[in-house]
Chain A
Amino acid sequence: MEINYLSEMNAYFDEILYGNHQKFTTKRIQATNQLKSYIVENHLDSGKSTQSYDEKVIEFFNKINSGLKYDFKIRQSKDEHLFINSSSEGTVYIDTSQKRFWKIHSVAKAEVSDYFHRILTKKKNFDQIWLPIPFLLGLPKFGEMYGIGISFTEELKDDEFESLYPDNSDNLSMNIRRLYVKELLKLMKNSSMKEVMGVNKISILDPSSEENESYIIDDITFFGKVTARGTSYSKHSHILESILYNYKKNISNIEDEYALHFDPGTSAIEGYPIEVVLKRGEINIQKLVSVLFSGNKPFSLWGIPQWKSENYCQISAVDLHNGNYGKMIDFEVFPSLIRAYLPQGTCGNSISRLLTNIHQSIDATAVIKGREASDFFKIL
């Protein structure tokens, strides 16, 4: 059946989810066509152009399709917000209802959809979303905690035996399902290792109720991929919308309230420097600065550290990450504080990316202090 509207897409995914659920409950077969949804940030609509938005989207996908290893072909559906990119290996559905944050869905193999997501977020003006730990831990608000994934890639300490583990860059990695999640979270809270236990994934269960049997389990990763298992696309869609609503609010808050600018009309300086408070003990500040501003992944910031004293460094950094490519952000680094001065016009995603990467490789307990103590990345 050819899909021409978002409503038809929704119905299709409902069928897939239910079919997979049946396969598992009756035959214990794990489906290979699980529903994956990805939230992607883009600035395709920025800049001057005589093209309509639809034309821009089609042109964009025609261009990237030509370089892909699968034979994708883009078409616009009858729904103005739905674009469909099909290949012999599977189809990707692009929901552009929100111009800045697209939702991309697919039931193709993860190998195909992840590849598509990866290529897309390498393009200029495109970026994944970045969900820091407080945001992920707030998501059970939309269901029940079903599982948690933890990983950490140590950047501050060197392991002399690093070369013996070429396949796995993580120093710590585990997945815990619902029976032991609460216990683990309690352990983490009081453990000396909490600084290196980066939450990279949360699983949420929105269970069935007495009125209906529909349920969903969504695995939500820190980079905005949501994998669904269950019987209800509507519940999956609700969780996705909740993530997007809260994420957008946080990003807009950063861009509107924290970006620095001088208003010549009122002669007032608006904005607020953003402070990342590091709670991990014994941080080697020289190593920290080297990791943050080398220009390499995951931080993708390049600048020349200017050491004002042995514990204080200023850096004027160029952001080499796609969503904010080539723009400057000024930083100051202290042993337990990183201060960022966001100029007006900077993408707020840069800050969520900074914090997320700090959580995954520097200090899983770092927090951003805004005007109110728990300003940043809370679930509303």
Chain B
Amino acid sequence: MTSLKSYSELDMLNILITMCFAEKLPNSDNIFHQEGYRIISIDRTIQTSSGSIKYDLVLSSVSKNVTLCFELKGFKASNLSNDQLDRYKGLATDEYIGLAGISSPNSMNHELQTIIGINIENAIRVENYQIKEGYSFPILNFGSKSISLSFRSLKDTQLDERLLKSLSMQEKHPVFIYFDKESSLSDLAYRIIPKVFSYAKVDELTFTVDQIIDDVYCSVKELHRIIGPDVKKAVINKIKQLLKKMSQEEYKDFLSWDSKQQRWNILKINSESHHVTDMAYQRAAGTFIERLKSGAPFTIDKVVPEGQLSIFDFEEDIEHSL
């Protein structure tokens, strides 16, 4: 079994979110919503007596009294760890749902199931790993055009039956969440730079880091509220680094940090700024991002535009005249 495409953890998360939409999206199936599941949390850490538990995605159905907890392993699924899976294995359901704020009509009979999501080409290896190590988590296999369940059944028999048949999937799946802890500074820059411009164009000339991260994290408004703070923290630190770099390099004329107010100030750009100023801001994006990717240092451009005199012209003239 091979897949033409190998998904990252973030890709898998976005695909699963598609399956939670209230409406069926083109060429995909909102099976989780249809089966009564709703999103509880994304990447949220819950401290339990089994240890720290952080599922990538938690869905729950009040009507079925079932919670599905997804642990996603992107690309080659090389970071499967016994430590993590042992915690899932030993997890007390009623403790977890209580701490996670999951509604249940009958917490004593509530079912919680951990599902491991992987690229389909890793299915045999992960199954063998589970057999060897004594785990029995169902596996959700992501192929380039379909999703299927294998290894173990789901406790929700209706959902299990549907997933066993293999669901077709959009080849070009929509993206709702843009970052995770693996995102690079340049990944962030593609959204942060336009967002700063956007703030300026509606005359919001100061912003905090918390504000900008909530605005750029996902394309679905309010979804960021259920994303765990520690994964956001990893991204926040990168955004702080990025903004600092921007304010010291290509965007030094456009951004400044107010340490007293703990806010960033946007300079020169606003709803009435001149087109030339706007263009300068926009043009800087290409150079800045290229340097982020290549690691090239920032240098101030000393080349004087043609036709414009520089001080060095005068020095030469003076020398020649002596």
Chain A residues with CB under 8 Å of chain B are 124, 260-264, 266-273, 275, 295, 302-304, 306, 312, 314, 316-318, 320, 325-328, 330, 332, 334, 337, 339, 341, 343-345, 369, 371
A-B contact pairs, 19 of them (CB 8 A): A260-B176, A260-B219, A260-B220, A260-B221, A266-B38, A267-B38, A267-B39, A268-B33, A268-B39, A269-B176, A272-B23, A295-B278, A295-B279, A304-B289, A326-B199, A328-B195, A332-B172, A345-B221, A369-B26
In the complex, chain B residues whose CB is within 8 Å of the CB of A312 = 172
Contact between chains at B220 and A262 (CB < 8 Å): yes
Contact between chains at B271 and A371 (CB < 8 Å): no
In the complex with contacts A271-B220, A304-B285, A339-B190 CB distance below 8 A? no
Cβ of B12 within 8 Å of any chain A Cβ, yes or no, is no
Across the interface, B20 reaches (CB within 8 A) one of A264, A269, A334, A337, namely A269
Contact between chains at A275 and B26 (CB < 8 Å): yes
Question: Closest approach, in angstroms, between the C-beta of A291 and any C-beta of chain B?
Answer: 15
**Interface residues as binary, B21-33 with A (CB distance below 8 Å gives 1, 0 otherwise):** 1110110000001
How distant is the Cα of A201 from the Cα of B289 in the complex, in angstroms? 43
Residue of B nearest to A258 (CB): B23
How distant is the Cα of A212 from the Cα of B189 in the complex, in angstroms? 66
Contact between chains at B223 and A269 (CB < 8 Å): yes
In the complex with contacts A312-B172, A334-B172, A343-B219 CB distance below 8 A? yes
Residue of A nearest to B289 (CB): A304
Across the interface, B25 reaches (CB within 8 A) one of A124, A272, A318, namely A272
Residue of B nearest to A341 (CB): B219
Contact between chains at A314 and B190 (CB < 8 Å): yes
In the complex, chain B residues whose CB is within 8 Å of the CB of A318 = 194, 197-198, 201
Residue of A nearest to B41 (CB): A267
Chain B residues with CB under 8 Å of chain A are 17, 20-23, 25-26, 33, 38-40, 172, 174-176, 187, 189-191, 193-195, 197-202, 215-216, 219-223, 225-226, 271, 278-279, 282, 285-286, 289
Question: Closest approach, in angstroms, between the C-beta of B171 and any C-beta of chain A?
Answer: 10
In the complex with contacts A272-B25, A306-B190, A264-B198 CB distance below 8 A? no
Question: Closest approach, in angstroms, between the C-beta of B91 and any C-beta of chain A?
Answer: 21
Question: Closest approach, in angstroms, between the C-beta of A366 and any C-beta of chain B?
Answer: 16
Residue of A nearest to B224 (CB): A262
Contact between chains at A343 and B271 (CB < 8 Å): no
Contact between chains at A326 and B201 (CB < 8 Å): yes
Across the interface, B174 reaches (CB within 8 A) one of A264, A268, A339, A345, namely A339
Q: What 8 additional pairs, Cβ within 8 angstroms, besides A260-B219, A262-B223, A272-B25?
A: A262-B225, A264-B222, A267-B39, A268-B33, A269-B20, A269-B220, A328-B194, A371-B23
Across the interface, A344 reaches (CB within 8 A) one of B23, B215, B221, namely B221
In the complex, chain B residues whose CB is within 8 Å of the CB of A337 = 172
A-B contacts at CB below 8 angstroms, number: 115
In the complex, chain B residues whose CB is within 8 Å of the CB of A275 = 26
In the complex, chain A residues whose CB is within 8 Å of the CB of B201 = 318, 320, 325-326
Contact between chains at A302 and B222 (CB < 8 Å): no
10 nearest A-B residue pairs (beta carbon): A326-B201, A267-B38, A326-B202, A341-B219, A262-B223, A262-B222, A306-B190, A316-B191, A330-B219, A261-B221
Question: Closest approach, in angstroms, between the C-beta of B15 and any C-beta of chain A?
Answer: 13
How distant is the Cα of A266 from the Cα of B20 in the complex, in angstroms? 12
Contact between chains at B194 and A261 (CB < 8 Å): no
Contact between chains at B286 and A304 (CB < 8 Å): yes
Contact between chains at B285 and A327 (CB < 8 Å): no
How distant is the Cα of A332 from the Cα of B170 in the complex, in angstroms? 14
Contact between chains at A302 and B282 (CB < 8 Å): yes
In the complex, chain A residues whose CB is within 8 Å of the CB of B39 = 262, 267-269
Contact between chains at A269 and B271 (CB < 8 Å): no
Residue of B nearest to A305 (CB): B190
How distant is the Cα of A328 from the Cα of B39 in the complex, in angstroms? 25
Residue of A nearest to B103 (CB): A267
Question: Closest approach, in angstroms, between the C-beta of B7 and any C-beta of chain A?
Answer: 12
Across the interface, B222 reaches (CB within 8 A) one of A261, A273, A316, A320, namely A261
In the complex, chain B residues whose CB is within 8 Å of the CB of A270 = 21-23
Across the interface, A327 reaches (CB within 8 A) one of B17, B26, B38, B198, namely B198
In the complex, chain B residues whose CB is within 8 Å of the CB of A271 = 21, 23, 220
In the complex, chain A residues whose CB is within 8 Å of the CB of B190 = 304, 306, 314, 316
How distant is the Cα of A270 from the Cα of B286 in the complex, in angstroms? 34
Candidate in A266, A270, A303, A337 with the most chain B CB atoms within 10 angstroms:
A303
Contact between chains at A124 and B225 (CB < 8 Å): no
How distant is the Cα of A272 from the Cα of B25 in the complex, in angstroms? 7
Residue of B nearest to A344 (CB): B221
In the complex, chain A residues whose CB is within 8 Å of the CB of B216 = 316
In the complex with contacts A269-B17, A271-B220, A275-B26, A326-B175 CB distance below 8 A? no
In the complex, chain A residues whose CB is within 8 Å of the CB of B278 = 295
How distant is the Cα of A371 from the Cα of B30 in the complex, in angstroms? 13
Residue of B nearest to A326 (CB): B201
Question: Closest approach, in angstroms, between the C-beta of B190 and any C-beta of chain A?
Answer: 4
Residue of B nearest to A257 (CB): B23
Question: Closest approach, in angstroms, between the C-beta of A338 and any C-beta of chain B?
Answer: 11
How distant is the Cα of A263 from the Cα of B215 in the complex, in angstroms? 16
Candidate in B175, B200, B220 with the most chain A CB atoms within 10 angstroms:
B220
Question: Closest approach, in angstroms, between the C-beta of B273 and any C-beta of chain A?
Answer: 11
In the complex, chain A residues whose CB is within 8 Å of the CB of B187 = 306
Question: Closest approach, in angstroms, between the C-beta of B101 and any C-beta of chain A?
Answer: 11
In the complex with contacts A303-B194, A327-B198, A341-B174, A273-B25 CB distance below 8 A? yes
Residue of B nearest to A342 (CB): B219
How distant is the Cα of A264 from the Cα of B222 in the complex, in angstroms? 8
Residue of B nearest to A277 (CB): B26
How distant is the Cα of A59 from the Cα of B174 in the complex, in angstroms? 44
Residue of A nearest to B21 (CB): A269
Question: Closest approach, in angstroms, between the C-beta of A195 and any C-beta of chain B?
Answer: 22
Question: Closest approach, in angstroms, between the C-beta of A326 and any C-beta of chain B?
Answer: 3
Residue of A nearest to B225 (CB): A264
In the complex, chain A residues whose CB is within 8 Å of the CB of B38 = 266-268
Question: Closest approach, in angstroms, between the C-beta of A323 and any C-beta of chain B?
Answer: 13
How distant is the Cα of A261 from the Cα of B199 in the complex, in angstroms? 20
In the complex, chain A residues whose CB is within 8 Å of the CB of B197 = 302, 318
Contact between chains at A304 and B220 (CB < 8 Å): no
Question: Closest approach, in angstroms, between the C-beta of B43 and any C-beta of chain A?
Answer: 15
In the complex, chain A residues whose CB is within 8 Å of the CB of B33 = 268
Across the interface, B221 reaches (CB within 8 A) one of A262, A306, A317, namely A262
